[in-house]
Structure 1
Amino acid sequence: MHNSVMEIIKKREEKVKLGDIDCYGTDFLRLLLKAYHDVDENKRILVQDLIDECKTSYIAGQETINSLLSWTVLLLAIHTDWQDKAREEVIELFGHQNPHPNDLSKLHTISMIIKEALRLYPPTVAFIRRSEREVRLGKFILPANIQLFISNLVVHRDPEIWGDDAHLFKPERFSGGVAKATSNNVAAYFPFGIGPRTCVGFNFATVGAKIILIMILQRYRFTFSPTYIHSPVINFLLVPQHGIQVILHSLKSDEGPS
């Protein structure tokens, strides 16, 4: 991985030297490269720091994709009506061609499905924050310098926010966006955190999960396996303890389930 990261870094630096791009691009790598080349030596980061940050971003994003994709596939295997809707959208937009990243924003149904999967099974189920000063939250007064354990898993399933069906898989709740789904309390939905410390792997994970899900839907119909035992566990991320068991049915042959 070290060599792969260095190759990406060198290619980006070479593009800047040749004038193909300005300011090292517009992504997370740009911020790291700017810090690496900072004119102030006291603010400059070491090349090993640069590489480590890239590795962390990739690994965190990859593991998040695995978690998100597992729960999404399981939910669609159970709720086959939504699986059919998602496949119809995919075929209408892409046919049987590989998806292009520029067209992912057109995926309304799949976006709702992924948002709902993240609501029910967020990759990280809690965040720790520290109060810098005393603050009042409703009837509570929080002293300065205490650690706060904030569980998005609890908030995401709160009936007072989401309604009596908060425990159910209903992607349509996001048809009007997060604001409408939360009755304008957008801070009640934070599968990747919120604010400036939102997980850096957020976009990588959601885009990656969409692309993989599209390619699965183009090739297979999948149904819930009776061997599956529902046992979510926290193993760094929220994952199914025994994996996800679904039955795959090829859409391109008559071979039956695999």
Structure 2
Amino acid sequence: MKLVFSVAVVGILSWILSVYGNLWHESQRLRKRLQMQGIKGPPPSFLHGNLPDMQRIQSQAKAASTCNSDLSDQFLAHDYTATLFPYFEHWRKQYGLLYTYSTGMKQHLYVNQPDLVREMNQCITLDLGKPTYITNKLAPMLGNGILRANGLSWAQQRKLVAAEFFMDKVKKSIVVHYLHIYAVPAPHKKLSPASSNSKGSATAEVKVDVDLRGFSADVISRVCFGHSYSKGKEVFSKLRSIQKAMSKHGGFLFGLSSFRDKLKHLSSKKQNEIASLEKEIESLIWELVEERKRECSGTSSSEKDLMQLLLEAAMTDQSLGKDFSKRFIVDNCKNIYFAGHETTAVAASWCLMLLALHPEWQTRIRTEVAELCPNGVPDADSVPLLKTVAMVIKEVLRLYPPAAFVSREAYEDIQIGNLNVPKGVCLWTLIPTLHRDPEIWGPDANEFKPERFSEGVSKACRFPHAYVPFGLGTRLCLGKNFAMVQLKVVLALIISKFSFSLSPSYRHSPAYRMIVEPGHGVHILIQEI
């Protein structure tokens, strides 16, 4: 019996070693194919690739930032990629804007050359999609919606979703819902006369990211389901809980946590908690869909909300099947909730942080809104005319894009420019680095200068295709129009009624939690006009 057990153990271990050996051999084969094209990179260690190097560089950067924490507030324009993704910056200085590295058995290609970014932008093949090892991790939060789908499934969903995000539809629906919710978004903390300044105006300190998340969530709920935030806040709360649980571990993107930490994580109740939240979210969403279908029976198409229109579009296509329709609506509702609510609220927070530092741009926006918007309130006709607001938003998205990466995986061998990318290689473009490159933006690349966009993106930099806050190519974010209109309206409403400055309690600490957000929130001192 002992002999049989020993043979079984040896057999299992041999199989494991064989699998790992084959994966390692394949990773090295891909690396050599890239090296033959003149692409360099850090030498990998056996089985672990460059993960030990990444852990070491990350630890060093964390120690350095702790030592210099008292200086962080003085350098609000510093390139935070050196803190959040120091290994990329370390290797960029060694190998340039194109290099290869590996995380265990996965081979990656860092691509920040403007010409190659342009070629990626023009690439329309379905053989280039989201990295599967990342999208698999995101499944509990995004299902198989458009943000993580690939191939034909993505193409089908894009066809159904894209039409509902055309500018005319987005512009009218957002403006109507914003103005239906509030005449103006007031801070959650009332301005107290007791906190008056020398001119007698009431002021208060507000943590704006909290308000903006609630406000953005309310708009998404109304646009999607016609419901107020009270109906949808459970969905948002549970999605936020999943996001925090998934991003809490350092190895989310590249597996930087130790093997022991991974085992601990997998064996903990956290996985059960995520699975439970996933089921609850899906149940809540479908209840809202069914409820809305009953409420709006016989409603004209002009009065229907986004989810109704998407559901009808999915059910109209007979080739997709009934099961696909339900899965499609639930998963894409999760996608729209997360992408449309979280990223827009974070972008608005960064907008207010930078505007608090530059009050002259508050004045310019306030003047523009007063001149172009009826009674100082934006409507569907005046929103496109708010060019100063648009310039500010574009500059904020350049300096602090919520999405840190454009990531792709080659499902087959593909050609990008003069580069042959082997099947299985993942490509990464680091957006903040691209957006702050002096070769692209000039010597003031780290400075807040919205006027650089006065004549649009094409005149703002040497390579317009290097401006990618909403991603690039065929997978450009479908919610781009939605986000831009929403940001224009919320900034116009706030600035027309309030002036504000950065609070002394604000701590500048960008953090990566699937998106780049203010690590400790944005605290401002707000004053009613």
TM over 0.5: yes
Residue identity matched to 1:155: L
Highest CA radius of gyration, 1 or 2?
2
Q: Tell me how far apart the structure 2 counterparts of residues 229 and 145 of structure 1 sit (CA, whole Å).
A: 41
Matches within 5 A, 1:113-124: 113-124=392-403
Q: Verify: 1:172 aligned to 2:445, yes or no.
A: no
Match in the other structure for 1:193: 471
Match in the other structure for 1:60: 339
Contact kept, 8 Å, 1:125 with 1:152, in 2: the verdict is: yes
Post-superposition offset of 1:200: 2.8
The two structures have a TM-score, normalised by structure 1, of: 0.83
Q: Tell me how far apart the structure 2 counterparts of residues 135 and 152 of structure 1 sit (CA, whole Å).
A: 22
Post-superposition offset of 1:144: 3.5
- DSSP-derived class of the 1:102 partner: coil
Q: Verify: 1:46 aligned to 2:325, yes or no.
A: yes
- DSSP-derived class of the 1:217 partner: helix
Q: Tell me how far apart the structure 1 counterparts of residues 499 and 414 of structure 2 sit (CA, whole Å).
A: 54
Q: Tell me how far apart the structure 1 counterparts of residues 381 and 297 of structure 2 sit (CA, whole Å).
A: 24
Q: Tell me how far apart the structure 2 counterparts of residues 186 and 28 of structure 1 sit (CA, whole Å).
A: 34
Contact kept, 8 Å, 1:116 with 1:169, in 2: the verdict is: yes
Higher helix residue share: 2
Match in the other structure for 1:242: 520
Match in the other structure for 1:163: 442
Structure 1 residues 112-121 or 98-107, which shifts more? 98-107
Which 4+ residue blocks in structure 1 deviate beyond 6 angstroms?
A: 10-13
Post-superposition offset of 1:32: 5.2
Q: Tell me how far apart the structure 2 counterparts of residues 242 and 111 of structure 1 sit (CA, whole Å).
A: 26
- Count of residue pairs brought into register by the alignment: 243
Q: Tell me how far apart the structure 2 counterparts of residues 74 and 54 of structure 1 sit (CA, whole Å).
A: 30
Residue identity matched to 1:86: I
The two structures have a TM-score, normalised by structure 2, of: 0.42
Q: Tell me how far apart the structure 2 counterparts of residues 113 and 200 of structure 1 sit (CA, whole Å).
A: 21
Q: Verify: 1:226 aligned to 2:515, yes or no.
A: no
Match in the other structure for 1:210: 488
Q: 1:136 to 1:127 in 2, by over 3 A?
A: closer
Q: Tell me how far apart the structure 1 counterparts of residues 479 and 292 of structure 2 sit (CA, whole Å).
A: 18
User: Mind listing any 5+ residue stretches in structure 1 that lack a counterpart?
Assistant: 252-258
Q: Tell me how far apart the structure 2 counterparts of residues 136 and 52 of structure 1 sit (CA, whole Å).
A: 31
Post-superposition offset of 1:44: 7.1
Contact kept, 8 Å, 1:37 with 1:44, in 2: the verdict is: no
Q: Tell me how far apart the structure 2 counterparts of residues 192 and 35 of structure 1 sit (CA, whole Å).
A: 25
Post-superposition offset of 1:56: 1.9
Post-superposition offset of 1:157: 0.6
Q: Tell me how far apart the structure 1 counterparts of residues 365 and 516 of structure 2 sit (CA, whole Å).
A: 24
- DSSP-derived class of the 2:319 partner: coil
Contact kept, 8 Å, 1:112 with 1:172, in 2: the verdict is: yes
| Cα offsets for 1:129-154 (capped at 9, x unmatched) | 1234243556x653343100111111
Q: 1:10 to 1:38 in 2, by over 3 A?
A: farther
| Cα offsets for 1:163-201 (capped at 9, x unmatched) | 111100110111111111123x32201101012212233
Root-mean-square deviation over aligned CA pairs? 2.6
Residue identity matched to 2:449: K
Contact kept, 8 Å, 1:135 with 1:144, in 2: the verdict is: no
Residue identity matched to 2:512: I
Q: 1:98 to 1:233 in 2, by over 3 A?
A: same
Q: Verify: 1:106 aligned to 2:377, yes or no.
A: no
Q: Tell me how far apart the structure 1 counterparts of residues 385 and 291 of structure 2 sit (CA, whole Å).
A: 33
| Cα offsets for 1:107-126 (capped at 9, x unmatched) | 11000000000000001110
Post-superposition offset of 1:50: 1.1
Q: Tell me how far apart the structure 2 counterparts of residues 95 and 247 of structure 1 sit (CA, whole Å).
A: 28
Residue identity matched to 2:509: S
Residue identity matched to 2:328: D
Q: Tell me how far apart the structure 1 counterparts of residues 475 and 308 of structure 2 sit (CA, whole Å).
A: 17
Post-superposition offset of 1:33: 3.0
| Cα offsets for 1:191-239 (capped at 9, x unmatched) | 0101221223322222112111111111100012222111000112111
Match in the other structure for 1:256: none
Contact kept, 8 Å, 2:406 with 2:472, in 1: the verdict is: no
Q: 1:6 to 1:142 in 2, by over 3 A?
A: same
Residue identity matched to 1:216: I
Contact kept, 8 Å, 2:310 with 2:329, in 1: the verdict is: no
| Cα offsets for 1:66-110 (capped at 9, x unmatched) | 111100001111011111111111111125443213321101100
Residue identity matched to 2:378: P
Match of 1:152 among 431, 436, 439: 431
Residue identity matched to 1:235: R
Q: Tell me how far apart the structure 1 counterparts of residues 296 and 465 of structure 2 sit (CA, whole Å).
A: 36
Match in the other structure for 2:69: none
Match in the other structure for 1:133: 413
User: Mind listing any 5+ residue stretches in structure 2 that lack a counterpart?
Assistant: 1-231, 233-284
Q: 1:5 to 1:88 in 2, by over 3 A?
A: farther
Q: Tell me how far apart the structure 1 counterparts of residues 486 and 422 of structure 2 sit (CA, whole Å).
A: 41
Q: 1:152 to 1:43 in 2, by over 3 A?
A: farther
Q: Tell me how far apart the structure 2 counterparts of residues 181 and 65 of structure 1 sit (CA, whole Å).
A: 23
Q: Tell me how far apart the structure 2 counterparts of residues 170 and 213 of structure 1 sit (CA, whole Å).
A: 17
Q: Tell me how far apart the structure 2 counterparts of residues 109 and 83 of structure 1 sit (CA, whole Å).
A: 10
Contact kept, 8 Å, 1:6 with 1:51, in 2: the verdict is: no
Match in the other structure for 1:79: 358
